[in-house]
Chains A and B, each alone.
Chain A
Amino acid sequence: MLGQDQITPSDDLWDDLKARAQILVSKLEEGDFSGASEAIEKLNEARDHSIYREVGKLTRGLHEAIANFDIDTQSTDTGAENGSKMTSAEDRLAYVINLTQSSADKTMDMVEEGIPLASELGDGALLLREEWSRLIRREVDPENYLDLYQGVDRYLATAGKNADLLSEKLNTILLAQDFQDLTGQVIKKVINLVQDVEIRLVELMRVAGKVEELTGIVRGVDPSVHSVTNNKELDSAAEGPQVNAEQRKDVVSGQDNVDDLLSSLGF
């Protein structure tokens, strides 16, 4: 978008330029050379003034854009929010990490405590089932009934106790998911901040571009620098999880893709 912003002179300037041009034309028609030269100088003067005014305006705009962009140093005096917005964004993201970590830890604690309880129930049921089948097949002597009664009693007690413990743990796991709501809110705030920064950055670039255009500074960017990258080397720098895998050609979209790729390599 930079560069498409042509400098449009104000109406006043147009009128001024037209008036001075008419003077020039009439002086030329009159054959008044020195008058004409003077008119040309006046024309130049008017144009120069307008450029100075525009540069002044843009410089002020640039200054404001820079001041607005400087969110890292301001807002220390707001009290409620200690530190800048950027520092606060870092804190917020650290909070997300802490919250998700503690939720994962809590969930895994409960799972690790729960698995032996479930195994105990399963193992007990298996043993009891064997005893029970023997009873059905009338292989248990009446004098051993007492053992069976006690076994059943013990198992029922364990089953009741373990079921209570398990549902307690499942409830804790359920509650440990409350992070989703909190982290969601925090991440939304950070997204807003990033968008804010982006808008200000674009504004800053726009104003800077206008100043450059007006003052004739040529930006020394060679576009070919960006487009040419060395394709021969493997691009294997770590990137972390792919958020938009389906939109990228150089990224696999799942385990099946990985397996296909590896088997094409002879795995």
Chain B
Amino acid sequence: MKILIVDDFSTMRRIIKNLLRDLGFTNTAEADDGSTALPMLQNGRFDFLITDWNMPGMSGIDLLKAVRADEQLKKMPILMVTAEAKRDQIIEAAQAGVNGYVVKPFTAAVLKEKIEKIFERVDS
């Protein structure tokens, strides 16, 4: 299981990376915005994407749409982990095909629950 973590703050990437390691996912890579993440996804055989929304350059919602529009990547499970909390944003993310949405600040338990739920669905 190879996971890409996209967030413009290194602190947040590190926190998510550590939580993932705790859940047994040790194969992770990091990107600081959508425009760095997209080529990594296209070349890197990732199984799962965790992305922030608000980032300089390419935002998380645009990355989500770009992934869904890409023939090779469109089935990739995507979890959004973001401070963006407007209803309209959550609706837009859902319409764009996000698999889970976690608002910051979040707990390890919430992250774990959402990731497990996504994998349950993907497996079934």
Contact residues of A with B, CB < 8 Å?
A: 101, 104-105, 108, 111-112, 234-236, 238-242, 245, 250-255, 258, 261-262, 265, 267
| B85 contacts chain A at the CB level, 8 A cutoff | yes
The chain A residue sitting closest to B117, CB to CB, is A267
Are B15 and A108 in contact, CB atoms less than 8 angstroms apart? Answer: yes
Minimum C-beta distance from A163 to chain B (A):
22
| B101 contacts chain A at the CB level, 8 A cutoff | yes
A250 to B104 alpha-carbon distance, docked (Å):
17
- Pick the residue among B18, B85, B94 that contacts A242 (CB under 8 A): B85
Minimum C-beta distance from A153 to chain B (A):
32
Are A251 and B53 in contact, CB atoms less than 8 angstroms apart? Answer: no
Are A252 and B91 in contact, CB atoms less than 8 angstroms apart? Answer: no
26 inter-chain pairs at a CB distance below 8 angstroms, sorted by A residue, are A105-B11, A108-B11, A108-B14, A108-B15, A234-B89, A235-B86, A235-B88, A236-B61, A236-B88, A236-B89, A238-B89, A239-B54, A239-B84, A240-B84, A242-B85, A251-B86, A252-B86, A252-B87, A252-B103, A255-B102, A255-B103, A258-B102, A258-B103, A261-B90, A262-B94, A267-B94
| B106 contacts chain A at the CB level, 8 A cutoff | yes
Query: Given A108-B11, A254-B103, A255-B106, does the pair A234, B85 have CB atoms closer than 8 Å?
Result: no
Q: In the complex, what residues of A have CB within 8 A of residue B59's CB?
A: 238
Are B87 and A112 in contact, CB atoms less than 8 angstroms apart? Answer: no
Are A108 and B18 in contact, CB atoms less than 8 angstroms apart? Answer: yes
Task: Mark interface residues in B1-40 (1 if CB within 8 Å of A CB, else 0).
Answer: 0000000001100110010000000000000000000000
Contact residues of B with A, CB < 8 Å?
A: 10-11, 14-15, 18, 53-54, 59, 61, 83-92, 94, 101-104, 106, 110
A235 to B84 alpha-carbon distance, docked (Å):
12
The chain B residue sitting closest to A108, CB to CB, is B14
Minimum C-beta distance from A106 to chain B (A):
11
Are A240 and B18 in contact, CB atoms less than 8 angstroms apart? Answer: no
Minimum C-beta distance from A38 to chain B (A):
70
A252 to B102 alpha-carbon distance, docked (Å):
11
Are A238 and B94 in contact, CB atoms less than 8 angstroms apart? Answer: no
Nearest 6 CB-CB pairings of A with B? A238-B54, A241-B83, A234-B88, A104-B11, A236-B92, A236-B89
A89 to B122 alpha-carbon distance, docked (Å):
49
Q: Which of A105, A236, A250, A265 has the most CB of B within 10 A?
A: A236
A267 to B99 alpha-carbon distance, docked (Å):
8
Q: In the complex, what residues of B have CB within 8 A of residue A258's CB?
A: 85, 90, 101-103
Q: In the complex, what residues of B have CB within 8 A of residue A242's CB?
A: 83, 85-86
A236 to B64 alpha-carbon distance, docked (Å):
14
- Pick the residue among A105, A239, A255, A262 that contacts B86 (CB under 8 A): A239
Q: In the complex, what residues of B have CB within 8 A of residue A105's CB?
A: 10-11
A236 to B54 alpha-carbon distance, docked (Å):
11
